[in-house]
């Protein structure tokens, strides 16, 4: 399945819808910044299968609610 391509602005504006589609339909989204691909949003289960790294539990344990943009 090829990812849908979105600008960072469109992704920010539609984040809730994107996350719903990722969770329900396992859709993938490529996020661009100034026209260049920079990030992918995909289902965690697909990530684990593709890269062999289960992240769910560890991510939840270490998640910091405040994002540092330092």
**1-60 residue pLDDT tens:** 789 999 999 999 999 999 999 999 999 999 999 999 999 999 999 999 988 866 655 555
Query: Under DSSP, is residue 38 helix (H, G, I), strand (E, B) or coil?
Result: strand
Full-model pTM: 0.73
Beta strands per DSSP E along 1-70: 4-7, 29-33, 36-41
Which residue segments constitute the domains of the chain, with CATH numbers given?
4-57 (3.40.1620.10)
* Contact assessment for residue 38 and residue 32, using Cβ atoms and an 8 Å cutoff: yes
SS3 category, 7: strand
Q: Are 38 and 9 in contact (CB under 8 A)?
A: no
3: closest CA among 16, 13, 24, 18? 18
Q: Which helix (H) or strand (E) holds 21?
A: helix 15-25
């Amino acid at each position: 399945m090829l990812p849908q391509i979105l600008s960072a602005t469109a992704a920010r504006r539609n984040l809730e819808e994107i996350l719903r589609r990722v969770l329900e339909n396992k859709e993938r989204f490529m996020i661009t910044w100034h026209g260049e691909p920079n990030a992918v949003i995909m289902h965690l289960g697909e990530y684990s299968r593709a890269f062999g790294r289960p992240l769910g539990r560890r991510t939840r344990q270490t998640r910091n609610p405040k994002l540092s943009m330092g």
